[in-house]
Structure 1
Amino acid sequence: MNALVKNITSPAYQVITVEPQSVYTGAEISGVDLSRPLTPQAVAEIRAALLQWKVIFFRDQPLSHEQHVAFGKQFGDLTVGHPVFGFVEGHPHIYSVGRNRLKERFTDERLVRSWTGWHTDVTAAVNPPFASILRGVSIPPYGGDTQWTNLVAAYQGLSPTLRSFVDTLKGEHRFTVPEGGGARPEFTQKVAATPLVSHHPLVRVHPETGERALYVSPSFLKRIVGLQPRESEQLLALLFEHVVRPEYTVRFKWREGSLAFWDNRSTAHLAPVDIFDTDFDRQLYRITLVGDVPVGPDGVASVAIEGKPVIAHSVE
C-alpha cells in the first residue's frame, strides 16, 4: 500500500463537510456560502481540506467577478490574471478560460502524447502561483471535464531508488511554443514577447506540509539540468507518463456555479479538448494566488533564468 494512503488522516471539521472524490485526489466541500466573508474557522478548515486533498470543489456558488476575487483574497494575495495573456477588461485579477482558448493557440497538427496538455500553472516563473481558483459560468450539458493529479502521491509511487535520484535533480521550465509545431502565429508572438524560464527542483518540498511532490509540469518542463539530451528525454517521458496514471487523478464534471480550488504546489491538471467536437459554449474564469519560490530536498531554492517573479497585483 502507498505510504500516503496509510498516513491520510482527516482533520476534525466543524464548519464544512468534506466528501472525498477519489483515494488520493479531490474532495467536494459543502456547508459554506462563498459569496459572503468567511469566518476564520471556515478559512482554516477549507485550507486544511485543500492541503489534504490537493484540489477541492464547491457546488452551487454563483459568484460575480467581485465575489470571486473577494473569496480568493481570504487565502492570499492575488496575481494579475495571467502574466502572458492578460486579464478580463476591468477585472485585472480575472483570467478568462473560454471554449476556444486552446483553438486560438494551436492547430490540429501539434504533437500529442499521453501527457500533452497536463501542466502546473505558470511553472516557468520562479515563483509559480500557490493556488488557482476556477469558476464555472457557462457549462455544456456533457463533456468539458477537467482532471487533476496528485504529485505527492505520484512521488510516493516511485521506487525508493528512483526517488533518491530525482531528489537530486533540477528541471528547466519554459513558457514556450509546443514541440512538434502546431502553434498559431499570434500565440508564438505573445510568448516570445514575454520570456519566462526558471530552474526548479524536480522534487519540491511543500512549504506547509513538508511533503515531497514530483514537481514535473509536462507543458513547461523541457529538460533536466545536467543530463545529456537523450537521458533527459527518456527520464522525463517516464515521469510524465507516471504522474498521469489514473489512480492519482480525479475527474471533475462542471456545473454552473461550480468552483475548483487547487494547490498548485502539489498538483498538475488537464484542460478538456473534447468540447471542440461539440457546439456547446463553455466559459470559466480563473484567479491565481501569489506563490513562493520552490525549494528542493537539499534546501536549494529555484532560480530565475529569464523573466520576473509573479507579484501581487493590488487595485486601490
Structure 2
Amino acid sequence: MSSPALSIRPVAGHIGADIDGVDLAQPLPDTSVQQIKEALHRHKVLFFRGQRLDHAAQIAFARQFGELTYAHPHDDAPPVDHPEIFTIDPRRFEERYGAGFLDEYRKRQYSYFDGWHTDVTAAVNPPAGSILRAEVAPEIGGDTQWTNLVAAYQGLSAPLRAFVDTLRAEHRYGGARELGAGSDYAKRIDSNLLVAVHPVVRVHPETGERAVFVNPGFTSHIVDVTAAESRRLLDLLYAEITRPEYTVRFRWEPGHVAFWDNRATAHLAPRDLEHLDVARTLHRVTLIGDVPVGPDGRESELVHGRPFTADRVVSAA
C-alpha cells in the first residue's frame, strides 16, 4: 500500500515551504522521506507545524536523512542520554558562563552568533542540514529568517559569478583573543579552535547548484587578496545574500519544526528579544556534512581543528 503524498506549499518566492500531512514522531515510509528530501533541495528550508516531538523522536526523525553530529563543537553539556541535541536558550549559556555572556558574544564575530550565518562553516565539513524544534516560544518576537544562497549566486551578473567562482575564503570559529579573552567562554572557544578554507562558491553535492558560501558569522577573509579587497568583496556578497527577496521569515510556536539545507542557506537568529522578559527554548540536531567542493573541483582545506562528526571532543578552558 503506497503512502499518501505530502502537502507541500511554498511560502515565499525563492525559499521555504510548509509541509502538512505527516507525523514526524512516527517512522516515515521511504516515499515520504524521498518527498521531503526533494522538497528540501527545491525549497531549501521546510516548516512542519504542530508536531509532538521529544529529544528521542527528533533524533529518530533526523536519522532518516543521515548521520548526526555531536550537539555542537563547543557544547560540553547536551541533555543526558541525548548527545546529539544542542539546546538554544540564552539562559542556559548565562548560567554556565556568567551574566556577561550575552554582552561578549555580541562583540565576537563567531560563537553562538546572532547575525546572518550558516552553521559551523569553520569546520572542514560544515553540517549538511539542521533540524530545529521549538519547545518554548514567546508570544511576540523571536522569529528566524533564512536566505537562499543559490538564488543569491544566480542574482550576480555573469562576469561577477565567473570571478567569485575562482575565490576561496577562510572561515574561523575562535582565535580573536582581543575580544573578551579573559572569560571562561572565550577560553573554551579558543581551546577548540576551528579554521577551514572553503570555496567562495560551493557546488551542491546532490543538486549540482552553485551557492555563495560565505557568511558574516564565520568568514574571516578571502584569501590571496588584500585586506581591503577582501572587505569590499565580502561586503558585496553579504549585501547580495541578505537581499529581502531571497528570504523567508518563520514565526515559532511550541511544536513547530524547521529543517534546512545548510549547504544552500544562511539564517538569522532573532534580534528583537533582548529588551523583553520572555523565554525561548529550541533544540537542534545536525546532519554530518561533506567537504565542500568549488566549481574548479577543489575541496575545502582543514587549517585547524577536526571534522565535525558524532565524536565528542571538547577541551576544557
Length-normalised TM-score, structure 2 = 0.89
Structure-2 change in CA distance of 1:76 and 1:116 (3 Å): closer
- Give the direction of change, closer, same or farther, for the CA distance of 1:313–1:19 in structure 2 (3 Å limit): farther
| Alignment match, 2:198 | 200
Matched ranges for 1:295-306 at <5 A: 295-306=293-304
Counterpart for residue 101 of structure 2: 105
Counterpart of 2:125, as a letter, is N
Pair 1:88-2:85 in alignment: no
* Identity within the alignment, %: 50
Q: CA deviation at 1:304?
A: 0.2
Letter in 1 for 2:299: A
Q: 1:170 touches 1:225 (CA, 8 Å); kept in 2?
A: yes
Alignment of 1:237-316 (within 5 A): 237-313=235-311
Q: Given residue 82 of structure 2, which amino acid in structure 1 is its aligned partner? A: H
Which residue of 2 is the match for residue 24 of structure 1? 14
Kindly indicate whether residue 71 of structure 2 is the aligned counterpart of residue 75 of structure 1: no
1:155 partner SS: helix
Displacement of 1:183 in angstroms is 7.7
Range moving further from structure 2, 250-259 or 184-193: 184-193
1:30-49 counterparts in 2 under 5 A? 30-49=20-39
CA distance in 2: counterparts of 1:177 and 1:55, whole angstroms: 31
Tell which deviates more after alignment, 169-178 or 147-156. 169-178
Counterpart of 1:10? none
What is the aligned counterpart of 1:150 among 130, 138, 148? 148
Bigger shift: residues 87-96 or 45-54:
87-96
Separation (CA, whole Å) in 1 of partners of 2:302 and 2:157: 30
Contact kept, 8 Å, 1:106 with 1:182, in 2: the verdict is no
Tell me whether 1:63 sits opposite 2:53 in the alignment. yes
2: CA distance between counterparts of 1:200 and 1:263?
A: 17
Give the TM-score normalised by the residue count of structure 1. 0.90
Task: Give the superposition deviation at 1:116.
Answer: 6.8
Q: How does 1:5-24 map to 2 (within 5 A)?
A: 15-24=5-14
Other-structure match for 1:8: none
CA shift in 2, pair 1:178/1:49, >3 Å: farther
Distance (Å, rounded) in 2 between the aligned partners of 1:267 and 1:21: 16
Deviates more, 1:28-37 or 1:93-102: 93-102
Shift of 1:98: 0.7
Q: Given the alignment of the two structures, is residue 210 of structure 1 paired with residue 208 of structure 2, yes or no?
A: yes
Q: How many residues align?
A: 300
Query: CA contact under 8 A between 1:218 and 1:240: conserved in structure 2?
Result: yes
Q: Which residue of 1 aligns with 2:315?
A: none
Shift of 1:93: 0.4
CA distances 1:63-93 after superposition (whole Å, capped 9, x unpaired): 0100000000000000000011232233100
CA RMSD of aligned residues (A): 2.2
Question: Structure 2, unaligned stretches of length 5 or more?
Answer: 313-317
CA contact (8 A) 2:202 2:292 kept: yes
| Structure 2 counterpart SS, 1:132 | strand
Cα 1:52–1:179 change in 2 (3 A) is farther
Q: Which runs of 5+ in 1 are unaligned?
A: 1-12
- Contact between 1:104 and 1:184, CA under 8 Å: does it hold in 2? no
Which range moves more in the overlay, 258-267 or 187-196?
187-196
Q: 1:180 Cα deviation (Å)?
A: 8.8
1:262-294 deviation digits (Å, cap 9, x = unpaired): 000000001112112111111000000100000
Equivalent position to 1:52, from 42, 52, 77? 42
Q: Which range is displaced more, 71-80 or 168-177?
A: 168-177
* Structure 2 CA distance for partners of 1:16 and 1:200, relative to 1, 3 Å: same
Take 2:232 and 2:181, find their aligned partners in 1: how far apart are those partners? 24
| Alignment-derived partner of residue 130 in structure 1 | 128
Displacement of 1:104 in angstroms is: 5.8
